[in-house]
Amino acid sequence: MTCSHLIPILVPFFWLYYLLLSTFHLPHATSVSFDFDFSHPGGYNAANISLQGDAYFHNQFIELTKNDRSQGSDNSIGRASYNASVPIWDEVTGELASFTTNISLQIVIDRTSGKSGDGMAFFLAHYPSRIRSNIIGGSLGLVTSGTTNATGDDRIVAVEFDTFLNEGTDTSANHMGIDVNSVISKAYVNTSVPGKNLTSGFVMSCRISYVNSTQRLTADLQIGDASYHVETSADLRQLLPSAVSIGFSAATGVETELHRVLSWSFNSTLGGSAPAAPSPSPSSSPSPALQMPQGQSFFSKVPWKVVGPVIGVVVVVASSACLVCLWRRCCGKIKPAGENKKTSEKAPASVQIASEVAPANVPIASEEPPVNVPRAFSYPELEEATDNFAAENKLGEGGYAVVYKGQLINPNRLVAIKNFKLGSSTIQRRKAFEDEINVISQLKHKNLVELVGWCIDVQRDMLSLVYELLSEGSLHEHLHKTRSWLQWGRRYQIILGLGNALEYLHHICRDCVLRDISASNILLDSQYVAKLADFGLSRLMDHGMELKTTCNLAGTPGYVDPEFLKIGKRSRESDVYGFGFGIVLLEIVSGRTPAPASDHTATEASLLKRVWRMHHNTTILDAADPKLVQESTREHHAQMERVLLVGLWCAHTDLSKRPTIKDAMKVLTSTDMVIPLPLPAFMAELPRLAADDLSRDSHSPNNVLSSPASRV
């Protein structure tokens, strides 16, 4: 073979050599997609989120600012951002990305002062995200205070949810705005619908989109049935670096406010068409061998600016080696293969460069149900749903309200409608209504009854709350009436569900919600999932503060803590016992009511006293329902004994010896933890709550006690 014969072969190699040397950037489609649900442990991977400042994970959401009165919650700042950079425009082609993000968020103000401040924001900024000094308060943790035109690494584009009026920069104390390198919004909308604004306490949903073809940034916020929209033009190439950090920022000044992110999905495309809205996908986990951020493909994480040139150099070197070998072979510098065995063995092996195809960019995330936001109903809607509040639709009656079954049209679902009684004083009715709506609107948990909406009809003097209707009724009906028999497996799941709800209320919520927990206030859905109901008897107690006293007795006879009845004080410990958990545990296993209705002289301690005596005699399993014991296995018997012991532990007369709900749940779900349960000093004579102690309070206009059978 002569050199002239190699010219057709060498020409393509020289062209490849030229192209690779002339450019180190290969344009490609880059996408980022993820879907995080922070309200479920399996809905996200904490390694994918970077937290800064005061931000931290709760079991149900990300808390961006402090939630600790003992250390002070003012002058707080926090950020939560995605832990990888997100390309938003191409430095070579100048092409812009399109993106869409959906957020579920909540802002909770200090109800004692009624003041708000300062707010939170979704941002795009320099990667990696960093918090500078002097960016608290009205700066929302975004830019240095007083900055009106951020430059360099301080540049930001953000959608703010502002809850404080800063003179000279804000138009109102309640607005959503789009910020460009400043917290003086380029465009804004006031969230002015009464009861449906940023500080109403509702879980809000927001969709933020950027379309590359129009360069329009839009934000749509939904609070109940109120909608808010804002948009503006923004050429991100002129405003931000090519790859950015995305996430959330919040700050407080002299006031206290909580800023929470419950879920977050994001989808962007660079080098392709605008992305569709992120859609839920089945829950899955990345392989241990490939620890990539949730919902992101391998190739979207490759640092192409570094890897691209390296690949180019490798290909050039390999091509050059091949060319040299061919040229030397052609010109007779080396002998052909086979002519010299030794030389043949040293000849270079052929080089093959294989290309790897990237997997489809499928988000890896748990499926997130749509956020159900409570809405306002009109009185005619509730009339139609209940057939004009027909007697046959009446479900029950409580201390302040009558409850009806209803069939709504929008949304199409069965509900329980709670009408506050007209016979009560107006002040009491409205306060009970306000308490209940304020508490429930801030809570979201699978073991709490869902609030669907409410109705305020001033003309008819009507106050109503609309809840989901649970098909299997109350736990009381199953334990003590003719409803279906509950086998141990279901009872145990109900116990764990109650514990999860209480743990959420005590250790996750900003305030301890001290409830009336009784078998009648525990409702069951079609799958026998337990849900706590009747928040109308809730009381709020700030974490870390001294106990609050009250002249109202809130609770059901048989479940009320003697300490609370004696001095009118509430605590976490009395909630674990007096508001249900300890006594309900004993009731679920034994099948006995804590205060039999047929014995008016019985004390609330009757069931408790019986179980304590059996524990003292080392025969605690005898306290269980005989039918339950007979049909269950030895493993179930061990669970029953453990539940009874935890019930006694929670109901200990010495407050200092009671567990937190978190400790109680650890023991319930363990098989080897030892329960620190010394016998109480009152074994000789358990303390009694005389019936006249309760009857004396039953004549008070402030009393909200009612029998278990009357709870709905």
Q: Return the number of other C-beta atoms located less than 10 Å from residue 674's C-beta.
A: 7
DSSP-assigned letter for residue 525: -
Handedness of CA 312, 318, 321, 327 (dihedral sign): negative
- Separation between Cα atoms, residue 575 and residue 588, nearest integer Å: 18
CB 215 within 8 A of CB 237: no
- CB distance 360 to 297 below 8 Å: yes
Q: Which two tokens stand for residue 393?
A: 């639709």
Residue 694 — φ and ψ, nearest 5°? Answer: -80, -40
Residue 172 CB-density burial (10 A; 0-12 exposed, 13-18 middle, 19+ buried): middle
- Chain-centroid distance, C-alpha 234: 32
At residue 184, φ and ψ (nearest 5 deg) are -85, 110
Residue 260: CA count within 13 A, CB half-sphere: 27
**At a CB cut-off of 8 Å and minimum separation 6, what does 174 contact?**
116, 162, 163, 190, 191, 192, 197, 198, 199
- The single residue listed with the structure tokens 């190739």 is 299
Q: How far apart are CA 73 and CA 80, in angstroms?
A: 18
Decide: 440 and 450 in contact? Cβ < 8 Å.
no
- Residue 674, phi then psi, degrees to nearest 5: -90, 135
Q: Which helix (H) or strand (E) holds 479?
A: helix 475-480
Cα angle 427-433-439, degrees, rounded to a multiple of 5: 130
**Backbone region of residue 375 per phi and psi (left: phi > 0; alpha: psi in -120 to 50; beta: other values):** beta
Comparing C-alpha atoms, which of 237, 236, 262 is closest to residue 248?
262
Query: Catalytic site residues?
Result: 516
* Contact between 142 and 179 (Cβ < 8 Å): yes
CA 602 to chain CA centroid, nearest Å: 43
Distance of CA 394 to the CA centre of its chain: 34
Q: Is 305 annotated as ligand-binding?
A: no
449 touches 524 (CB < 8 A): no
Place of tokens 């859609």: 279
Instruction: With H, G, I as helix, E, B as strand and everything else as coil, classify residue 249.
Output: strand
Phi, psi of 569 (to 5 degrees): -115, 150
Q: Which two tokens stand for residue 364?
A: 């890896």
Annotated binding site for ATP: 418
Annotated binding site: 418
